[in-house]
Structures are given as C-alpha cells and as structure tokens.
C-alpha cells in the first residue's frame, strides 16, 4: 500500500539528512556536555523553546546547532509539514485501517469548522460536548437522580486501554479541581478483583457506571459491564434501574442498545478518534463529571494551544517537533532503547502509564506505511515514576549504569498544595538531577573531596546523560491539555520520520482474538481437543486441575 502522501519520499536511510546525521554522529558522539557548555556560555539560554504555556530547556542534550539543523532537515525530507497538514485536514493517514486521524478536531473551538467527506466534524464534536455538559451539570447538581431518587455520588468508569488510561490519568492529574463530594473509580482489568475492590464500599443507589468502549465488544469491558449490571440489579432489584445508573460512551449504538443501555444515555464519538487519542472525546466523560464542563473546556483549550503551536511554529522552535527529533536522535543514532519521563508532581503519577500506551502502541511498529520491513529502530520503551520517588530507586542506573537513557523531567512553578518549603525542595531536585546527569562528577572532583583512593572510581559520575526539562507555571486543566498534546505530536513526528502508521494497533487486536479461543478449552475437561504447542497444552491441562 503506497500512499500519495509518501510515495515521493525516499526510504529513511536514503534521505540525504540521514546520511549527514550518521556522519555528524561519528563526529560528536564522544563530545561531553561539559565541553559543549564551556564553549558556549549562552547555551542554556539559547537551546530553549516555548509554546502552549510550556517551556522546554533542551540544552542538556548531546547536540550542537548543526545537529538541530540536520534533524530539522530530516523532518523536512520526511514530509513532516505535508503529513501534518494531511492529518489536520482529515486525510486518511491511518493507512492500514483506512481512517482519518482527527483527534485535533476534538479540541477545535466552537464556531470553527472542518469539513471531512462533506460533514462538519467540529459541529458534531460540539453537539456531543453540549450533551455531555448538560448531563454532567445534572449529575453534579443532583438534578439527575438514581432509581431511588438519591443523587449520584459515585462514578465508576468501566473501560480498558485507551478507554481507561486517559480518564484515570486525567482524573488523578486534575483531582485538585474535582468535586470532592463525589467518588471516582476506574475498572479496567478482567480480573474480578478490580471490579470487586472498586465497588465494595459503594452504595448502588448512588452509583453511576460509565461503560466506555469505542467498539463495545472488548472482552474485559463487556465482562466488567455485565458484572456491574448484576451488582446494580442485586442492590436495586429492578431492571428499570439500569437506565438511571448506566450510561455508555461508544461509537457502536447497536451494541449499546443490545446491552440494555438506552441510546439516549449514550455519548458518541467517531472512528477517526483512536483509543489512545480519545481522552478529550466523550471518553473523557468521567473527567468532565469530576471537574465540571467549564474546566473540561479549559483542558480542550490547552490541547488546542499546543495543536496550533505544532502546526504553525518553525521546526527549530517547535516543542513537539524538537522532542520527537531528539527521540529519533537517541534511538537511532545513540542506540538508546528506553526513555524516561519523570513528572515532579504527585498529581501526574499516572502520566507515565498513560504515555506508555500513547508512545508504545503508536510507534511500536516494524513495517513502513507501504509494508516494507524497517531497517532501523522505531519506538523506544517509555517508562517513569513521579519525582522524587524514582531518585531513591532506579535513578542510580541512569546516573552510573552502562546504558544511555534520555529523560524528560517535568516540573511546575507553583504547587497546588503549598506547604512549608516542600515545593522548593521538590524543584531543587529537578534542577539538581538534570545538572548531575549532564555534568557528573569527575575523578578529580571526587578526589578533591577527600574520597579514599579505592572508593574514587565508585563515586565518579561520567555525566553526559541527556535530559529535557519541561516547565509550566501551574498544573491546570489547560496545562495538562497542552502537555498531553505535546507528547501526542511528538509521537506523530517520530512516526513520520520512521514512515510508520502511528495510528493502528494490530498487536493489540491479536491479543483480543487469541484469548477468546482458549476460554472454552479451560471450561471443559473433555472437549475440545487441545491443538496448541506442547507447552500451551500442558499449561491448560495443569490449570484445569488447579481450578477444580
Ligand atoms: C487504543 C487501542 C486500545 C483500545 C482498547 C479498548 O488505541 O486501540 O487500547 O482503546 O482495546 O477498546 P474499546 O474502547 O473498543 O473497548
């Protein structure tokens, strides 16, 4: 499948900037950040960029001005400009699923329009947002009551993957702004423990379930939704109660009504919204219930700020483009296998998990858009924990291990919960870590501190470990939107360089199909015959004995 968008673009290794970068890499691979900073006293003030309310310091990367120039050329030669326009205008850039990729339309302001296949998608988006808003207002004010007339106090989102990770992350991130009289829970795992623990202290008459599933066929979600219905019926004793305690978020009205949810209580979205790009669609209903429609709109405005920045800013000042190009630089030239993202903000504790799906499901691909197997590395393994916790565990390996791990450190100017000197202590760690990773401690420095000779090598920090520092003034719905969009577009930038489809997920689809084949084999001891490999057959037989 060759698309008109990419047919004129040579394979990655044949793009002139790639060869130039390979040569340039040989020249600067040994250069130390200590020297790069010593040579240019303004480096820390020059290699920065701003957009969408976020500030990026990328000076502590193993780059020179020439590196940035070559990476920007690579972006140009990869068609990033054209592909970005193709995405924003609704072209079917998700080639393997033949779909448009229009999460950017989810946050276009009311009154603007984007016509795709004769339909104004922005008008459709706002129609759903308006319905969500009026529903959220009714629930939050107590006007929407449960079956027994009591207001809803608990909201349980049932969904998995893209229908879970965004909502959980956003709820945790924006908890400061949420209605504290309400309880929010998220059930994703088909392990019944997830459902049981999430609902054990909730009163059914005050509980609303949001069944969030784009397809409304996902095994985990439908299994949990059925258990939720049993739970609600056991507590409320009446089928009629379902209408008051269940709403759905889906693209599949037929399946929603088959399940027994009135499609009046369904909030739709569209096939052009990928699961991992859906937290700002109706999939964000739990977020809106928590923080209210006004603040949800602010979050959308933050996404849109970053969309505009991405679309309109020259590449060498463009935050998502710079982050994306640096990821390619470390992954493909330095051979970095992983990348760390460490938010120095407890509210962002689920942000790394959210990013894992966004980055790894999008760019974990081994063929190009036309199906050719790649001969370079694609998406890195993303991971992280909030600071400062990580510093007391795995940072050791980042500082002194043998692997290169580029790290993003995310911090804020102000705390939402100021207490004594906590915030300055927190932020001093951001700056100190970035500094130590870049500059390390030389043998001489260690010796001058009076370190006994045999201990000197152990205390030496080589430094030259790259970081990006991302700062925003305050964690608000708006900055969260901008931060998520920053990574969305960075992922897109990387995907364009690698000429892969960042918007399909055939590996995930495979998992969905495989397990359902084995279920009947676990339930019955006689038939059907087992036709797997010898290991799978033996494991199934052992499990049959264990489950008796
Ligand atoms: C996301 C993936 C995947 C998906 C889940 C849930 O991009 O496609 O994580 O979101 O498998 O799918 P449903 O929303 O259809 O239940």
Residues with CB under 6 A from ligand 1: 160-163, 213-215, 218, 221, 274-276, 361, 505, 508
Cα separation of 343 and 108, whole Å? 27
Q: Is 282 exposed, middle or buried (0-12, 13-18, 19+ CB in 10 A)?
A: buried
Q: What is the CA radius of gyration of the chain?
A: 25
In terms of phi and psi (left: phi > 0; alpha: psi -120 to 50; beta: otherwise), the region of 315 is: alpha
For residue 484, report the distance from its CA to the centre of ligand 1, in Å: 18
Q: What is the mean pLDDT of the chain?
A: 96
Q: Which residue has the higher pLDDT, 226 or 531?
A: 226
Give the closest residue (by CA) to ligand 1 atom 2. Answer: 275
Task: Answer yes or no: is pLDDT of 502 > 60.
Answer: yes
Peptide bond into 388 cis (omega under 30): yes
Q: Which pLDDT does position 380 carry in this prediction?
A: 98
- In whole angstroms, what separates CA 342 from the centre of its chain? 13
Predicted confidence band at 513 (pLDDT cuts at 50, 70, 90)? confident
- The C-alpha angle 90, 93, 98, rounded to 5 degrees, equals 95
**Residue 4: which pLDDT band, with cuts at 50, 70 and 90?**
low
For residue 3, pLDDT over 80 is answered with: no
**pLDDT (tens digit, 9 = 90+) per residue, 114-133?**
999 999 999 999 999 999 99
Ligand 1 site-directed mutation target among 275, 281, 358, most atoms within 8 Å of CB: 275
Supply the residue whose CA is at minimum distance from atom 10 of ligand 1: 162
> 436 falls in which pLDDT band (50, 70, 90)?
very high
* Segment (H or E) for 515: helix 506-523
Q: What is the mean pLDDT of residues 484-491?
A: 98
* Rounded mean pLDDT, 509-513: 82
How far is the centre of ligand 1, averaged over its atoms, from the C-alpha of 107 (Å)?
20
pLDDT at 484 over 70: yes
Residue 105 CA to ligand 1 centre (angstroms): 19
Residue nearest to atom 8 of ligand 1 (CA): 275
- Mean pLDDT for the stretch of residues 197-209: 98
Average pLDDT over residues 321-347: 98
Query: Which residues lie closer than 8 Å to 449 by C-beta, 6 or more apart?
Result: none
Could you tell me the pLDDT band of residue 328, with boundaries at 50, 70 and 90?
Answer: very high
Question: What pLDDT is stored for residue 544 in this prediction?
Answer: 93
Q: According to the model, what pLDDT value does residue 512 have?
A: 78
pLDDT at 522 over 80: yes
pLDDT band of 108, cuts 50, 70, 90? very high
Averaged pLDDT, 385-401: 96
5 pLDDT band, cuts 50/70/90, is low
Ligand 1 centre to CA of 268 (Å) is 15
Cα–ligand 1 centroid distance for 352 (angstroms): 18
Question: Which residue has the least CA distance to atom 16 on ligand 1?
Answer: 213
Q: How far is CA 98 from CA 88, 144, 271, 403, 471, in A?
A: 16, 40, 10, 39, 37
| Average pLDDT value for residue range 225-237 | 98
Predicted confidence at residue 1, as pLDDT, reads 39
Percent of the chain with pLDDT over 70: 98
532 belongs to the catalytic site:
no
Answer yes or no: is pLDDT of 528 > 80. Answer: no
pLDDT tier at 437, thresholds 50, 70, 90? very high
pLDDT at position 527: 59
CA–CA separation, 20 vs 18, rounded Å?
Answer: 5
pLDDT for position 2: 40
392 catalytic? Reply is: yes
Ligand 1 closest atom vs CA 218:
16
Of the ranges 100-114, 214-228, 445-459, 514-528, which one carries the lowest mean pLDDT score?
514-528
Q: Indicate the SS3 state at residue 529.
A: coil
pLDDT digits (tens, 9 = 90+) for 142-159: 999 999 999 999 999 999
3-state secondary structure string across 424-468: HHHHHHHHHHHHHHHHCECHHHHHHCCCCHHHHHHHCECCCCCEE
Question: What pLDDT was estimated at residue 464?
Answer: 98
pTM value > 0.85 = yes
71 phi and psi angles, rounded to 5 deg: -65, -40
Confidence grade of residue 514 (pLDDT, cut at 50, 70, 90): confident
């Amino acid at each position: 499948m060759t698309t008109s968008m990419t047919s004129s673009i040579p394979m990655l290794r044949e793009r002139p900037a790639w060869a130039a970068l390979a040569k340039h890499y040989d020249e600067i691979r040994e250069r130390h950040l200590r020297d790069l900073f010593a040579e240019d006293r303004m480096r820390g003030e020059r290699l920065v960029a701003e957009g969408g309310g976020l500030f990026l310091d990328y000076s502590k990367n193993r780059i020179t001005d020439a590196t940035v120039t070559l990476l920007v050329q690579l972006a140009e030669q990869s068609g990033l400009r054209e592909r970005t326009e193709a995405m924003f205008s609704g072209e079917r850039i998700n080639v393997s699923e033949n779909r448009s990729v229009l999460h950017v339309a989810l946050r276009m302001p009311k009154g603007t329009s984007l016509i795709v296949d004769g339909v104004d998608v922005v008008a459709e988006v706002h129609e759903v947002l308006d319905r969500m808003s009026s529903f959220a207002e009714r629930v939050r004010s107590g006007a929407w009551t449960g079956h027994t007339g009591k207001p809803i106090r608990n909201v349980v989102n049932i969904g998995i993957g893209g229908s879970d990770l965004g909502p959980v992350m956003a709820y945790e991130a924006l908890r400061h702004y949420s209605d504290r009289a309400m309880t929010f829970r998220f059930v994703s795992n088909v392990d019944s423990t997830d459902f049981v623990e999430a609902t054990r202290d909730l009163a059914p008459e005050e509980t609303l379930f949001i069944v969030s599933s784009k397809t409304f066929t996902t095994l985990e979600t439908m299994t949990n939704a059925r258990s939720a219905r049993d739970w609600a019926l056991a507590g409320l004793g009446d089928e009629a109660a379902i209408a008051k305690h269940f709403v759905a978020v889906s693209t599949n009205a037929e399946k929603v009504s088959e399940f027994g949810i009135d499609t009046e209580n369904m909030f739709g979205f569209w096939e052009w919204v990928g699961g991992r790009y859906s937290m700002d669609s109706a999939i964000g209903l739990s977020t809106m219930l928590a923080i209210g429609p006004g603040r949800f709109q602010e979050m959308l405005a933050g996404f849109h700020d970053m969309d505009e920045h991405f679309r309109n800013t020259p590449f060498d000042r463009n935050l998502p483009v710079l982050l994306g190009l640096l990821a390619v630089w470390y992954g493909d030239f330095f051979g970095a296998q992983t990348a760390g993202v460490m938010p120095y903000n407890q509210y962002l504790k689920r942000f790394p998990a959210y990013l894992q799906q966004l980055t790894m499901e999008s760019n974990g691909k081994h063929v190009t858009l036309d199906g050719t197997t790649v001969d370079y590395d694609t998406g890195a393994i993303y991971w992280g924990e909030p600071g400062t916790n990580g510093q007391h565990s795995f940072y050791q390996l980042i500082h002194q291990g043998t692997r290169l791990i580029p790290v993003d450190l995310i911090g804020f100017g102000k705390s939402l919960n100021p207490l004594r000197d906590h915030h300055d202590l927190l932020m001093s760690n951001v700056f100190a870590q970035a500094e130590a990773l870049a500059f390390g401690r030389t043998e001489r420095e260690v010796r001058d501190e009076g370190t006994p000779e045999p201990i000197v090598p152990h205390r030496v920090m080589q430094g030259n470990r790259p970081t990006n520092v991302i700062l925003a003034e305050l964690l608000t719905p708006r900055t969260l939107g901008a931060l998520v969009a920053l990574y969305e577009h960075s992922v897109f930038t990387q995907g364009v360089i690698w000429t892969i489809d960042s918007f399909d997920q055939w590996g995930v689809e495979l998992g969905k199909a495989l397990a359902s084949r084995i279920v009947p084999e676990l339930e019955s001891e006689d038939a059907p015959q087992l036709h797997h490999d010898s290991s799978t057959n033996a494991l199934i037989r052992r499990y049959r004995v264990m489950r008796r």
